[in-house]
A and B are shown apart, each in its own frame.
Chain A
Amino acid sequence: MNPPPDRRALLLVPAVLVLLVAFVGPVGWLLARAFTQPQPGLQNFQAIWQRQGYLQVLWNTIEISAMVTPICLLLGFPIAHAMATGSPRLRRWLVFIVLLPFWTSLLVRTFATVILLQRTGPVNALLIGLGLTAEPLPLLYNMAGVMAGALQVLLPFVIFPLHAAMVRIDPAYMQAALTLGARPMRAFFRVYLPLTMPGLLTGATLVFISTLGYFVTPAMLGGPHQTMIAQLIQDQIAQFGNWGMAGALSLLLLLVSGVTLLLLHVTVGLKAAAR
Protein backbone atom coordinates (compact mmCIF):
# COMPACT_ATOMS: atom_id res chain seq x y z
CA MET A 1 0.00 0.00 0.00
CA ASN A 2 2.63 2.51 1.09
CA PRO A 3 4.71 4.02 -1.70
CA PRO A 4 8.34 2.93 -1.53
CA PRO A 5 10.40 5.29 0.64
CA ASP A 6 12.27 7.85 -1.43
CA ARG A 7 15.99 7.37 -0.90
CA ARG A 8 16.59 11.02 -1.71
CA ALA A 9 15.28 11.75 1.79
CA LEU A 10 18.71 10.68 3.03
CA LEU A 11 20.13 13.88 1.52
CA LEU A 12 18.17 15.83 4.11
CA VAL A 13 19.78 14.07 7.04
CA PRO A 14 22.97 16.16 7.45
CA ALA A 15 21.16 19.51 7.24
CA VAL A 16 18.38 18.43 9.58
CA LEU A 17 20.92 17.01 12.03
CA VAL A 18 22.85 20.29 12.13
CA LEU A 19 19.58 22.15 12.60
CA LEU A 20 18.53 19.91 15.48
CA VAL A 21 21.87 19.77 17.28
CA ALA A 22 23.09 23.34 16.79
CA PHE A 23 19.80 25.24 16.68
CA VAL A 24 16.64 23.54 17.89
CA GLY A 25 18.42 21.90 20.83
CA PRO A 26 20.15 25.03 22.13
CA VAL A 27 17.09 27.26 21.61
CA GLY A 28 14.94 24.69 23.41
CA TRP A 29 17.49 24.64 26.22
CA LEU A 30 17.33 28.44 26.51
CA LEU A 31 13.54 28.58 26.47
CA ALA A 32 13.32 25.83 29.08
CA ARG A 33 15.42 28.01 31.45
CA ALA A 34 12.43 30.37 31.62
CA PHE A 35 10.54 27.78 33.66
CA THR A 36 13.38 26.18 35.60
CA GLN A 37 15.67 28.97 36.77
CA PRO A 38 16.13 30.11 39.48
CA GLN A 39 13.35 27.72 40.65
CA PRO A 40 10.78 25.73 38.71
CA GLY A 41 7.69 27.81 38.11
CA LEU A 42 6.46 30.95 36.40
CA GLN A 43 8.27 33.48 38.61
CA ASN A 44 10.24 34.92 35.67
CA PHE A 45 7.04 35.91 33.91
CA GLN A 46 5.69 37.37 37.13
CA ALA A 47 8.87 39.40 37.49
CA ILE A 48 8.47 40.79 33.96
CA TRP A 49 4.88 41.70 34.70
CA GLN A 50 5.82 43.47 37.92
CA ARG A 51 8.79 45.44 36.66
CA GLN A 52 7.92 48.79 35.14
CA GLY A 53 11.27 48.91 33.34
CA TYR A 54 10.77 45.58 31.57
CA LEU A 55 7.24 46.37 30.50
CA GLN A 56 8.49 49.67 29.12
CA VAL A 57 11.08 47.82 27.00
CA LEU A 58 8.43 45.40 25.72
CA TRP A 59 6.22 48.36 24.85
CA ASN A 60 9.13 50.14 23.08
CA THR A 61 9.73 47.00 21.03
CA ILE A 62 6.13 46.75 19.86
CA GLU A 63 5.83 50.52 19.34
CA ILE A 64 8.98 50.80 17.21
CA SER A 65 8.02 47.77 15.10
CA ALA A 66 4.49 49.08 14.65
CA MET A 67 5.78 52.51 13.59
CA VAL A 68 8.41 51.24 11.16
CA THR A 69 6.02 48.92 9.32
CA PRO A 70 3.57 51.44 7.79
CA ILE A 71 6.36 53.90 6.87
CA CYS A 72 8.19 51.07 5.11
CA LEU A 73 5.05 50.14 3.17
CA LEU A 74 4.37 53.74 2.15
CA LEU A 75 7.92 54.32 0.92
CA GLY A 76 8.32 50.87 -0.59
CA PHE A 77 5.07 50.91 -2.55
CA PRO A 78 6.04 53.52 -5.20
CA ILE A 79 9.42 51.88 -5.67
CA ALA A 80 7.94 48.42 -6.12
CA HIS A 81 5.40 49.92 -8.53
CA ALA A 82 8.13 51.63 -10.57
CA MET A 83 10.04 48.34 -10.62
CA ALA A 84 6.98 46.40 -11.77
CA THR A 85 5.70 48.80 -14.42
CA GLY A 86 8.70 50.92 -15.46
CA SER A 87 11.08 50.32 -18.34
CA PRO A 88 13.54 47.42 -18.02
CA ARG A 89 16.33 49.97 -17.67
CA LEU A 90 14.64 51.69 -14.71
CA ARG A 91 13.91 48.30 -13.21
CA ARG A 92 17.55 47.22 -13.38
CA TRP A 93 18.69 50.45 -11.71
CA LEU A 94 16.14 50.20 -8.93
CA VAL A 95 16.93 46.54 -8.25
CA PHE A 96 20.61 47.45 -8.06
CA ILE A 97 20.03 50.41 -5.73
CA VAL A 98 17.76 48.41 -3.43
CA LEU A 99 20.01 45.35 -3.38
CA LEU A 100 23.32 47.13 -2.86
CA PRO A 101 22.59 48.12 0.75
CA PHE A 102 20.98 44.72 1.26
CA TRP A 103 24.36 43.13 0.54
CA THR A 104 26.27 45.60 2.66
CA SER A 105 26.73 44.73 6.30
CA LEU A 106 24.11 46.00 8.71
CA LEU A 107 26.87 47.32 10.92
CA VAL A 108 28.40 49.34 8.10
CA ARG A 109 25.09 50.90 7.14
CA THR A 110 24.18 51.72 10.72
CA PHE A 111 27.57 53.27 11.25
CA ALA A 112 27.11 55.32 8.08
CA THR A 113 23.76 56.51 9.38
CA VAL A 114 25.51 57.75 12.54
CA ILE A 115 27.90 59.84 10.44
CA LEU A 116 25.07 61.12 8.26
CA LEU A 117 22.83 62.17 11.14
CA GLN A 118 25.31 63.43 13.74
CA ARG A 119 25.11 67.06 14.90
CA THR A 120 27.85 68.16 12.51
CA GLY A 121 26.80 65.66 9.83
CA PRO A 122 25.75 66.34 6.24
CA VAL A 123 22.01 66.15 6.89
CA ASN A 124 22.15 68.88 9.52
CA ALA A 125 24.54 70.92 7.35
CA LEU A 126 22.03 70.66 4.50
CA LEU A 127 19.07 71.65 6.69
CA ILE A 128 20.94 74.67 8.08
CA GLY A 129 22.21 75.59 4.61
CA LEU A 130 18.65 75.58 3.27
CA GLY A 131 17.59 77.76 6.18
CA LEU A 132 15.10 75.17 7.43
CA THR A 133 16.56 75.24 10.90
CA ALA A 134 18.95 77.54 12.77
CA GLU A 135 20.25 74.95 15.23
CA PRO A 136 21.33 71.42 14.27
CA LEU A 137 18.43 69.02 14.90
CA PRO A 138 18.88 66.11 17.31
CA LEU A 139 18.56 63.23 14.84
CA LEU A 140 20.55 60.59 16.72
CA TYR A 141 20.03 58.62 19.93
CA ASN A 142 16.27 59.10 19.75
CA MET A 143 13.27 57.74 17.87
CA ALA A 144 14.20 59.61 14.68
CA GLY A 145 17.59 57.86 14.62
CA VAL A 146 16.07 54.42 15.14
CA MET A 147 13.49 55.02 12.40
CA ALA A 148 16.12 56.26 9.95
CA GLY A 149 18.37 53.27 10.61
CA ALA A 150 15.58 50.71 10.57
CA LEU A 151 14.08 51.96 7.29
CA GLN A 152 17.50 51.79 5.64
CA VAL A 153 17.67 48.12 6.49
CA LEU A 154 14.07 47.07 6.05
CA LEU A 155 12.93 48.68 2.78
CA PRO A 156 14.07 45.72 0.64
CA PHE A 157 11.90 43.42 2.79
CA VAL A 158 8.74 45.20 1.59
CA ILE A 159 9.89 46.11 -1.90
CA PHE A 160 10.54 42.57 -3.09
CA PRO A 161 7.29 40.91 -1.94
CA LEU A 162 5.31 43.92 -3.23
CA HIS A 163 7.11 43.79 -6.54
CA ALA A 164 6.40 40.06 -6.79
CA ALA A 165 2.68 40.71 -6.22
CA MET A 166 2.58 43.64 -8.67
CA VAL A 167 4.18 41.87 -11.62
CA ARG A 168 1.44 39.24 -11.36
CA ILE A 169 -1.31 41.87 -11.77
CA ASP A 170 -2.69 42.02 -15.29
CA PRO A 171 -2.62 45.72 -16.40
CA ALA A 172 -5.91 45.04 -18.18
CA TYR A 173 -7.74 45.11 -14.81
CA MET A 174 -6.84 48.75 -14.18
CA GLN A 175 -7.50 49.57 -17.82
CA ALA A 176 -10.95 47.99 -17.55
CA ALA A 177 -11.79 49.90 -14.37
CA LEU A 178 -10.73 53.19 -15.98
CA THR A 179 -12.55 52.50 -19.24
CA LEU A 180 -15.70 51.68 -17.32
CA GLY A 181 -15.53 55.14 -15.84
CA ALA A 182 -13.87 54.68 -12.44
CA ARG A 183 -11.73 57.63 -11.39
CA PRO A 184 -8.05 56.79 -11.04
CA MET A 185 -8.12 57.04 -7.24
CA ARG A 186 -11.15 54.81 -6.98
CA ALA A 187 -9.73 52.32 -9.47
CA PHE A 188 -6.53 52.24 -7.47
CA PHE A 189 -8.19 51.61 -4.12
CA ARG A 190 -10.85 49.22 -5.39
CA VAL A 191 -8.88 47.26 -7.97
CA TYR A 192 -5.12 47.66 -7.72
CA LEU A 193 -4.54 47.85 -3.98
CA PRO A 194 -6.57 44.72 -3.11
CA LEU A 195 -4.59 42.78 -5.72
CA THR A 196 -1.29 43.77 -4.06
CA MET A 197 -2.59 42.67 -0.66
CA PRO A 198 -0.62 39.38 -0.43
CA GLY A 199 2.59 41.32 -1.13
CA LEU A 200 1.67 44.08 1.33
CA LEU A 201 0.87 41.62 4.09
CA THR A 202 3.99 39.55 3.49
CA GLY A 203 6.18 42.67 3.45
CA ALA A 204 4.52 44.07 6.57
CA THR A 205 4.98 40.80 8.44
CA LEU A 206 8.63 40.51 7.43
CA VAL A 207 9.34 44.07 8.54
CA PHE A 208 7.41 43.74 11.76
CA ILE A 209 9.03 40.53 12.96
CA SER A 210 12.52 41.58 11.85
CA THR A 211 12.17 44.80 13.82
CA LEU A 212 10.99 42.98 16.95
CA GLY A 213 14.39 41.29 17.30
CA TYR A 214 16.50 44.36 16.49
CA PHE A 215 19.70 44.72 18.45
CA VAL A 216 22.26 46.78 16.53
CA THR A 217 19.95 49.58 15.38
CA PRO A 218 18.49 50.65 18.73
CA ALA A 219 21.85 50.15 20.44
CA MET A 220 23.67 52.46 18.01
CA LEU A 221 21.01 54.94 16.92
CA GLY A 222 18.54 54.98 19.80
CA GLY A 223 18.63 56.50 23.25
CA PRO A 224 17.66 54.93 26.58
CA HIS A 225 13.99 55.42 25.67
CA GLN A 226 14.39 53.21 22.60
CA THR A 227 15.81 50.17 24.40
CA MET A 228 14.38 47.04 22.79
CA ILE A 229 13.90 43.48 23.99
CA ALA A 230 17.03 42.07 22.32
CA GLN A 231 19.21 44.48 24.32
CA LEU A 232 17.39 43.43 27.48
CA ILE A 233 18.10 39.75 26.71
CA GLN A 234 21.77 40.53 26.16
CA ASP A 235 21.95 42.45 29.46
CA GLN A 236 20.37 39.56 31.33
CA ILE A 237 23.11 37.24 30.12
CA ALA A 238 26.17 39.46 29.89
CA GLN A 239 25.59 41.50 33.05
CA PHE A 240 23.49 39.40 35.38
CA GLY A 241 23.93 35.82 34.16
CA ASN A 242 20.16 35.54 34.63
CA TRP A 243 19.39 32.70 32.22
CA GLY A 244 15.86 32.25 33.53
CA MET A 245 14.94 35.83 32.64
CA ALA A 246 16.79 35.63 29.31
CA GLY A 247 14.77 32.51 28.47
CA ALA A 248 11.48 34.11 29.50
CA LEU A 249 12.13 37.23 27.39
CA SER A 250 13.20 35.09 24.43
CA LEU A 251 10.00 33.09 24.73
CA LEU A 252 7.91 36.28 24.69
CA LEU A 253 9.79 37.54 21.63
CA LEU A 254 9.28 34.24 19.82
CA LEU A 255 5.63 34.15 20.79
CA VAL A 256 4.90 37.59 19.31
CA SER A 257 6.80 36.76 16.10
CA GLY A 258 5.05 33.38 15.88
CA VAL A 259 1.58 34.86 16.29
CA THR A 260 2.33 37.50 13.64
CA LEU A 261 3.50 34.83 11.21
CA LEU A 262 0.42 32.75 11.95
CA LEU A 263 -1.79 35.76 11.19
CA LEU A 264 -0.01 36.16 7.86
CA HIS A 265 -0.48 32.49 7.11
CA VAL A 266 -4.19 32.69 7.85
CA THR A 267 -4.87 35.96 5.98
CA VAL A 268 -2.77 35.36 2.88
CA GLY A 269 -3.92 31.75 2.87
CA LEU A 270 -7.51 32.96 2.87
CA LYS A 271 -6.76 35.55 0.18
CA ALA A 272 -5.30 32.86 -2.04
CA ALA A 273 -8.34 30.68 -1.40
CA ALA A 274 -10.75 33.49 -2.22
CA ARG A 275 -9.28 34.05 -5.67
Chain B
Amino acid sequence: MTGDGMDLWRRLRGLVCTLVALYLIAPLVIVVIISFSAASFLQFPPPGLSLRWYVNLFHDPAWTDSLAVSVQILIPSATLATLLGTAASYALVRGRIPGAQILGAALMLPIIVPAIITAAALFGVYRGLGLNGTLTGLIIGHVVITMPYVVATVSSGLRTMDPRLEDAASTLGAPPLAAFRRVTLPLLLPAILSGLLFAAVASFDELIVSLFVSTARVRPVAVQMWSNIRGDVDPTIAAIASLCFAFAFLALLAEGFLRRRSGTEGQR
Protein backbone atom coordinates (compact mmCIF):
# COMPACT_ATOMS: atom_id res chain seq x y z
CA MET B 1 0.00 0.00 0.00
CA THR B 2 2.63 2.46 1.15
CA GLY B 3 4.99 1.35 -1.57
CA ASP B 4 2.31 1.83 -4.23
CA GLY B 5 1.56 5.40 -3.20
CA MET B 6 5.23 6.31 -3.18
CA ASP B 7 5.76 4.59 -6.48
CA LEU B 8 2.90 6.49 -8.09
CA TRP B 9 4.26 9.78 -6.74
CA ARG B 10 7.77 8.97 -8.05
CA ARG B 11 6.37 8.26 -11.49
CA LEU B 12 4.20 11.37 -11.52
CA ARG B 13 7.14 13.45 -10.31
CA GLY B 14 9.36 12.04 -13.03
CA LEU B 15 6.77 12.84 -15.69
CA VAL B 16 6.25 16.43 -14.49
CA CYS B 17 10.01 16.98 -14.21
CA THR B 18 10.59 15.74 -17.74
CA LEU B 19 7.79 17.82 -19.24
CA VAL B 20 8.79 20.99 -17.40
CA ALA B 21 12.45 20.49 -18.30
CA LEU B 22 11.44 20.19 -21.96
CA TYR B 23 9.25 23.25 -21.62
CA LEU B 24 12.13 25.28 -20.15
CA ILE B 25 14.73 24.13 -22.67
CA ALA B 26 12.72 23.77 -25.90
CA PRO B 27 12.43 27.50 -26.69
CA LEU B 28 16.17 27.96 -26.31
CA VAL B 29 16.93 25.02 -28.61
CA ILE B 30 14.52 26.27 -31.23
CA VAL B 31 15.99 29.76 -31.23
CA VAL B 32 19.46 28.34 -31.80
CA ILE B 33 18.23 26.22 -34.71
CA ILE B 34 16.37 29.12 -36.34
CA SER B 35 19.42 31.37 -36.06
CA PHE B 36 21.10 29.11 -38.65
CA SER B 37 18.07 29.22 -40.92
CA ALA B 38 18.35 30.03 -44.61
CA ALA B 39 14.82 31.43 -44.77
CA SER B 40 14.23 35.14 -44.34
CA PHE B 41 11.39 34.69 -41.89
CA LEU B 42 10.89 32.70 -38.72
CA GLN B 43 10.09 29.31 -40.15
CA PHE B 44 10.41 26.13 -38.16
CA PRO B 45 11.85 23.74 -39.08
CA PRO B 46 14.06 25.87 -41.33
CA PRO B 47 14.15 24.93 -45.03
CA GLY B 48 17.96 25.10 -45.14
CA LEU B 49 20.93 26.18 -43.09
CA SER B 50 23.13 29.28 -43.41
CA LEU B 51 25.20 31.73 -41.42
CA ARG B 52 23.67 34.79 -43.09
CA TRP B 53 21.98 36.11 -39.94
CA TYR B 54 25.22 36.03 -37.97
CA VAL B 55 26.92 37.86 -40.84
CA ASN B 56 24.08 40.36 -40.83
CA LEU B 57 24.43 40.84 -37.08
CA PHE B 58 28.05 41.93 -37.41
CA HIS B 59 27.54 44.03 -40.56
CA ASP B 60 24.29 45.83 -39.94
CA PRO B 61 25.23 49.11 -38.20
CA ALA B 62 21.97 49.09 -36.22
CA TRP B 63 23.14 45.90 -34.48
CA THR B 64 26.85 46.68 -34.21
CA ASP B 65 26.13 50.15 -32.77
CA SER B 66 23.76 48.75 -30.19
CA LEU B 67 26.27 46.07 -29.20
CA ALA B 68 28.85 48.82 -28.66
CA VAL B 69 26.39 50.84 -26.58
CA SER B 70 25.53 47.81 -24.45
CA VAL B 71 29.20 47.14 -23.71
CA GLN B 72 29.78 50.81 -22.87
CA ILE B 73 26.94 50.63 -20.37
CA LEU B 74 27.69 47.17 -19.01
CA ILE B 75 31.35 47.66 -18.05
CA PRO B 76 31.05 50.81 -15.93
CA SER B 77 27.66 49.93 -14.44
CA ALA B 78 28.59 46.37 -13.44
CA THR B 79 31.90 47.60 -11.99
CA LEU B 80 30.24 50.39 -9.99
CA ALA B 81 27.43 48.13 -8.82
CA THR B 82 29.99 45.56 -7.64
CA LEU B 83 32.12 48.11 -5.77
CA LEU B 84 29.18 49.82 -4.07
CA GLY B 85 27.30 46.59 -3.45
CA THR B 86 30.30 44.79 -1.96
CA ALA B 87 31.12 47.69 0.37
CA ALA B 88 27.50 47.90 1.50
CA SER B 89 27.23 44.13 2.06
CA TYR B 90 30.39 44.12 4.17
CA ALA B 91 29.02 46.89 6.38
CA LEU B 92 25.61 45.20 6.64
CA VAL B 93 26.86 41.70 7.49
CA ARG B 94 29.97 42.43 9.54
CA GLY B 95 29.24 45.85 11.01
CA ARG B 96 27.24 46.51 14.15
CA ILE B 97 24.89 49.00 12.59
CA PRO B 98 21.47 49.84 14.01
CA GLY B 99 18.74 49.17 11.45
CA ALA B 100 21.03 47.07 9.26
CA GLN B 101 18.16 44.73 8.42
CA ILE B 102 15.94 47.53 7.18
CA LEU B 103 18.80 49.07 5.19
CA GLY B 104 19.52 45.68 3.64
CA ALA B 105 15.89 45.34 2.60
CA ALA B 106 15.90 48.89 1.22
CA LEU B 107 18.90 48.06 -0.95
CA MET B 108 16.89 45.22 -2.54
CA LEU B 109 14.01 47.55 -3.44
CA PRO B 110 15.04 48.16 -7.07
CA ILE B 111 14.39 44.50 -7.93
CA ILE B 112 11.17 44.34 -5.91
CA VAL B 113 9.58 47.51 -7.24
CA PRO B 114 8.30 46.77 -10.77
CA ALA B 115 10.82 47.96 -13.35
CA ILE B 116 8.16 50.00 -15.14
CA ILE B 117 7.92 52.32 -12.12
CA THR B 118 11.69 52.80 -11.88
CA ALA B 119 11.82 53.38 -15.62
CA ALA B 120 9.03 55.95 -15.67
CA ALA B 121 10.47 57.72 -12.63
CA LEU B 122 14.00 57.96 -14.05
CA PHE B 123 12.67 59.10 -17.42
CA GLY B 124 10.64 61.83 -15.73
CA VAL B 125 13.51 63.10 -13.56
CA TYR B 126 16.06 62.82 -16.41
CA ARG B 127 13.96 65.13 -18.62
CA GLY B 128 14.84 68.11 -16.46
CA LEU B 129 18.50 67.09 -16.30
CA GLY B 130 19.02 66.32 -19.99
CA LEU B 131 20.10 62.76 -19.12
CA ASN B 132 17.69 60.93 -21.44
CA GLY B 133 19.51 59.41 -24.40
CA THR B 134 22.93 59.70 -22.70
CA LEU B 135 25.28 56.93 -21.64
CA THR B 136 25.52 58.56 -18.20
CA GLY B 137 21.78 58.32 -17.73
CA LEU B 138 21.72 54.69 -18.83
CA ILE B 139 24.69 53.78 -16.62
CA ILE B 140 23.08 55.35 -13.53
CA GLY B 141 19.86 53.44 -14.20
CA HIS B 142 21.74 50.18 -14.65
CA VAL B 143 23.75 50.64 -11.44
CA VAL B 144 20.48 51.04 -9.54
CA ILE B 145 18.90 47.98 -11.17
CA THR B 146 21.93 45.66 -10.85
CA MET B 147 23.25 46.59 -7.39
CA PRO B 148 20.71 44.38 -5.55
CA TYR B 149 22.09 41.29 -7.33
CA VAL B 150 25.57 42.09 -6.01
CA VAL B 151 24.30 42.83 -2.49
CA ALA B 152 22.38 39.52 -2.42
CA THR B 153 25.30 37.43 -3.73
CA VAL B 154 28.05 39.04 -1.64
CA SER B 155 25.97 39.16 1.56
CA SER B 156 25.19 35.46 1.34
CA GLY B 157 28.88 34.79 0.61
CA LEU B 158 29.86 36.76 3.71
CA ARG B 159 27.29 34.99 5.87
CA THR B 160 28.68 31.57 4.99
CA MET B 161 32.24 32.77 5.71
CA ASP B 162 33.53 32.18 9.22
CA PRO B 163 34.00 35.63 10.86
CA ARG B 164 36.55 34.08 13.23
CA LEU B 165 39.04 34.03 10.36
CA GLU B 166 38.98 37.83 10.25
CA ASP B 167 38.96 38.02 14.06
CA ALA B 168 42.01 35.79 14.15
CA ALA B 169 43.80 38.08 11.71
CA SER B 170 43.10 41.18 13.79
CA THR B 171 43.90 39.43 17.07
CA LEU B 172 47.23 38.48 15.58
CA GLY B 173 47.83 42.19 15.00
CA ALA B 174 46.79 42.81 11.40
CA PRO B 175 45.43 46.34 10.87
CA PRO B 176 41.76 46.26 9.70
CA LEU B 177 42.60 47.11 6.09
CA ALA B 178 45.31 44.45 5.89
CA ALA B 179 42.98 41.90 7.49
CA PHE B 180 40.38 42.72 4.87
CA ARG B 181 42.83 42.61 1.96
CA ARG B 182 44.73 39.50 3.02
CA VAL B 183 41.96 37.42 4.60
CA THR B 184 38.43 38.58 3.78
CA LEU B 185 38.92 39.60 0.17
CA PRO B 186 40.55 36.38 -1.09
CA LEU B 187 37.90 34.27 0.66
CA LEU B 188 35.10 36.46 -0.65
CA LEU B 189 36.43 36.81 -4.18
CA PRO B 190 34.30 34.01 -5.70
CA ALA B 191 31.13 35.62 -4.32
CA ILE B 192 32.21 39.06 -5.56
CA LEU B 193 32.94 37.70 -9.04
CA SER B 194 29.57 35.93 -9.06
CA GLY B 195 27.96 39.24 -8.18
CA LEU B 196 29.87 41.00 -10.95
CA LEU B 197 28.76 38.38 -13.46
CA PHE B 198 25.17 38.64 -12.28
CA ALA B 199 25.28 42.42 -12.59
CA ALA B 200 26.81 42.23 -16.08
CA VAL B 201 24.18 39.78 -17.34
CA ALA B 202 21.38 41.77 -15.72
CA SER B 203 22.66 44.97 -17.34
CA PHE B 204 22.91 43.37 -20.77
CA ASP B 205 19.38 41.98 -20.48
CA GLU B 206 17.80 45.05 -18.92
CA LEU B 207 15.03 46.30 -21.19
CA ILE B 208 12.47 48.47 -19.50
CA VAL B 209 14.60 51.23 -17.96
CA SER B 210 16.69 51.29 -21.16
CA LEU B 211 13.53 51.50 -23.27
CA PHE B 212 12.43 54.68 -21.50
CA VAL B 213 15.80 56.34 -21.07
CA SER B 214 17.45 55.55 -24.44
CA THR B 215 16.89 57.22 -27.79
CA ALA B 216 17.30 55.98 -31.37
CA ARG B 217 20.91 57.22 -31.35
CA VAL B 218 21.97 55.64 -28.08
CA ARG B 219 20.26 52.30 -28.06
CA PRO B 220 21.43 49.18 -26.20
CA VAL B 221 20.96 45.66 -27.61
CA ALA B 222 17.88 44.83 -25.55
CA VAL B 223 16.02 47.87 -26.91
CA GLN B 224 17.18 47.14 -30.45
CA MET B 225 15.85 43.59 -30.05
CA TRP B 226 12.60 44.89 -28.67
CA SER B 227 11.98 47.25 -31.57
CA ASN B 228 12.97 44.49 -33.99
CA ILE B 229 10.58 41.99 -32.44
CA ARG B 230 7.81 44.56 -32.65
CA GLY B 231 8.61 45.37 -36.29
CA ASP B 232 9.90 43.20 -39.13
CA VAL B 233 11.04 40.02 -37.54
CA ASP B 234 13.87 38.26 -39.32
CA PRO B 235 16.20 35.59 -37.95
CA THR B 236 18.92 38.16 -37.07
CA ILE B 237 17.18 38.38 -33.76
CA ALA B 238 17.52 34.61 -33.35
CA ALA B 239 21.24 35.01 -34.01
CA ILE B 240 21.68 37.62 -31.28
CA ALA B 241 19.43 35.57 -29.03
CA SER B 242 21.66 32.52 -29.58
CA LEU B 243 24.73 34.55 -28.73
CA CYS B 244 23.04 35.79 -25.53
CA PHE B 245 22.17 32.20 -24.78
CA ALA B 246 25.76 31.06 -25.37
CA PHE B 247 26.90 33.84 -23.06
CA ALA B 248 24.43 32.74 -20.38
CA PHE B 249 25.63 29.16 -20.77
CA LEU B 250 29.26 30.18 -20.27
CA ALA B 251 28.29 32.50 -17.40
CA LEU B 252 26.45 29.66 -15.70
CA LEU B 253 29.43 27.32 -16.06
CA ALA B 254 31.73 30.06 -14.72
CA GLU B 255 29.35 30.73 -11.84
CA GLY B 256 29.19 27.04 -10.98
CA PHE B 257 32.96 26.92 -11.04
CA LEU B 258 33.22 29.94 -8.73
CA ARG B 259 30.62 28.51 -6.40
CA ARG B 260 32.43 25.19 -6.19
CA ARG B 261 35.68 26.98 -5.42
CA SER B 262 34.11 29.09 -2.69
CA GLY B 263 32.34 25.97 -1.37
CA THR B 264 35.53 23.95 -1.01
CA GLU B 265 37.38 26.91 0.43
CA GLY B 266 34.65 27.43 2.99
CA GLN B 267 35.00 23.83 4.16
CA ARG B 268 38.72 23.93 4.66
- Name A residues whose Cβ lies closer than 8 Å to a Cβ of B: 3, 6, 8-12, 14-16, 18-19, 22-27, 29-30, 33, 75, 78-79, 81-82, 94, 96-101, 103-109, 111-116, 118, 120-122, 151-152, 155, 178, 183-185, 209, 212-213, 215-216, 220, 230, 233-234, 237, 243, 246, 250, 253-254, 257, 261
| Smallest CB separation, A17 vs chain B (Å) | 9
Task: Say whether B30 contacts A104, CB under 8 Å.
Answer: no
Task: Say whether B225 contacts A94, CB under 8 Å.
Answer: no
Interface assignment of B172: CB less than 8 Å from any CB of chain A:
no
In the bound complex, CA of A27 to CA of B196 (Å): 26
Task: Say whether A109 contacts B21, CB under 8 Å.
Answer: no
Secondary structure of the A side of the interface? Answer: helix
Secondary structure of the B side of the interface? Answer: helix
* Given A12-B88, A183-B5, 6 extra CB contacts under 8 A: A12-B92, A19-B144, A22-B141, A104-B244, A108-B244, A115-B30
In the bound complex, CA of A230 to CA of B21 (Å): 29
Interface assignment of B222: CB less than 8 Å from any CB of chain A:
yes
B28, B45, B91, B124: the one within 8 Å of A11 (CB): B91
Interface residues of B in 1-19 (CB under 8 A from A): 1-2, 5-6, 9, 12-14, 16-17
B2, B43, B117, B225: the one within 8 Å of A250 (CB): B117
Q: List 25 A-B contacts (CB under 8 A).
A: A6-B96, A8-B94, A9-B97, A12-B88, A23-B121, A79-B16, A79-B17, A97-B25, A100-B25, A104-B245, A105-B222, A105-B241, A107-B222, A107-B226, A109-B28, A115-B27, A118-B42, A121-B44, A152-B23, A152-B24, A178-B2, A209-B112, A216-B208, A250-B116, A250-B117
A185, A254, A261: the one within 8 Å of B117 (CB): A254
Interface assignment of B84: CB less than 8 Å from any CB of chain A:
yes
Task: Say whether A115 contacts B114, CB under 8 Å.
Answer: no
In the bound complex, CA of A22 to CA of B141 (Å): 7
In the bound complex, CA of A114 to CA of B117 (Å): 26
| Smallest CB separation, B45 vs chain A (Å) | 8
In the bound complex, CA of A221 to CA of B90 (Å): 42
| Smallest CB separation, B110 vs chain A (Å) | 6
Task: Say whether A257 contacts B114, CB under 8 Å.
Answer: yes
Binds A, one of B48-56, B61-69, B185-193, B246-254: B246-254
In the bound complex, CA of A85 to CA of B163 (Å): 31
In the bound complex, CA of A250 to CA of B121 (Å): 10
